[in-house]
Every structure is written in C-alpha cells, then in structure tokens.
Amino acid sequence: METGCSLCPVSCGADRKTEDGACGGGNQMKIAKYGLHFYEEPCISYRNGSGAIFFCGCSLRCAFCQNFELSRNLRGKEIGAKDLAAIFQELEERGAENINLVTAGHYIPQILKAFALYRPKIPVVYNTHSYEKIEALRAIDPFIDVYLPDLKYFSPKISLRYTGKANYFEYASRAVEFMMEKPLDMRAGKMFSGCIVRHLILPLCSNDSLEIVRWFFAHTGDAYFSLMGQYTPYGDIAAFPELNRRITRREYDKVANLVCAQNSDRIFLQQLSSADEKYIPDWDF
C-alpha cells in the first residue's frame, strides 16, 4: 500500500503501512466472519447459500449500521492474501453458490493479491455501500461477476446527517452506473453475472427513497432493484431520535407502490417482517 491512501472518496491520506485509514483498515485485511449466508436475494443465496466474507472497517460509516461492530472495526481477525485465497477454496468446497465480498472496497489491493493466488471457480459477488471511486472498481472489475451495491441516500443533507458525507450520491450514483454495466446472466433462478441495486428505506426518509427509485428506473438497463424494509434501530443512533423506530407500513407502501408501478419483472421486495435483530449475524469468528 502506497503512502497516502486515496482508495476511496474520503482520501484520508493515511500511511496504511503504519496506521489505519479513516475506514479503520490498515495494511492487513481484517475479517469478522465467513460462511454460508442465506439472507441475500434468492438468486444470490440460491440453494446452498452465498459464501459471504465479512470485512471489517468501512469508509462510509452510517450511524445506524446494522453491522456496526464490523464497520467500526471493533472485532475481527487479520488475514493475509494466502489466507483469503484459502477461504475462497474452502467456501467452494462447502458448496457455496458464490464468493460474496461484503464491504471490501478498502482492501481492494490486498484482495487482488488473493485473486492472483487463486481465482474462484464460482461467481464472485462485490457487496458494497457504493461510496467508491471508479478507479478502484475498474481495478477489481475483471474478477467480479455480480455487483450488489446499496444506493443509500439521494439527498446530500440526509447523507451528511447520517454519515458526515454530503457527497455520497455524487460518488455512489457514478459507481452504481458503472456496476450496472455488468452483463446479465440469470439461469434457472440463479444470477451468474449482473447487478442488483439495493435500497433500504429509513424512518422519515420515504421521500428520499422515492428519488432513489426514480433515479434507478431512469438508468436501469439490465439491473435488478431490491427494496429493503429491514431497518432495525441499531448502532450509534442516540443523537438521531427519528432512527429509534422501525419504518411504518405507510412508509414502506409509499415506496413499494412506486417500485411496483414501474411494471418491471426485475424487482425484489423485502417484507417488513425482515426488520428483526435475529437477521444480524453473530460476529464471533
């Protein structure tokens, strides 16, 4: 890693050989868990589960993060490129439908070293918050089959409030447009190549969600849209009283109705029953 990290839009300038970046990532990769994961979209989890690898640290750091302990780097284990390559192989042997790199953008240089040691024989999924630089995505794109990006905020005021970054949509929209260019290959209900853009509805933010929906369906191409209703109060939200509740049926229906009005067959709708802490993994490695 070169001195002065500028891998993500934060461009914190950290020397990650000697210190952690603003994302919490250092020179060594750090993961909290890996294994077969069954809570992705049906075409990703499919029959045997997605081979998810949960990386620690995050450049976006949403206050309400459902994976708060990971994004704040509070737990996990350091691994090298050889270790990650071995995890790829182990997940394949366990029957994983794909290799799912969860919040991995701040470790792209290290992950590329793992791919140089072992190229998975099953699809590779890049699961991201989308606060990414196009240059970083281009570097890892030759190894990625499926993109699974979140498109979290449209309003700079809302992204500033919950992440401290007013420029989220500026970067994320360009990143998502890049990811939506991945050719679609869906066979027998399993995605081998393509893109699913996710959006999580937040309390009091349904109008912002409507803007996300409108933006997506003006740019969609072959991509799928996944609307999530799973928001559960979690993380560091004491200063945000509006986040101390789940979304209402009215908030959910307001956004879901606009999604359904697009008459698209490339839609996933997550039900409100998914808003439960039982779906947050146990992070004991």
Q: Annotated binding residues, as ranges? A: 58, 62, 65
> Would you say the C-alpha torsion 94, 192, 187, 214 has a positive or negative sign?
positive
Report which DSSP code applies to 43. H
Largest CA distance in the chain: 52
CA 41, CA 250: separation in Å to the nearest integer? 23
CA 32, CA 60: separation in Å to the nearest integer? 18
Report which DSSP code applies to 142. G
Coil, strand or helix at 165 = coil
Helix (H) or strand (E) holding 34: strand 29-37
50 contacts 96 by C-beta, under 8 angstroms: yes
Q: Annotated binding residues for [4Fe-4S] cluster, as ranges? A: 58, 62, 65
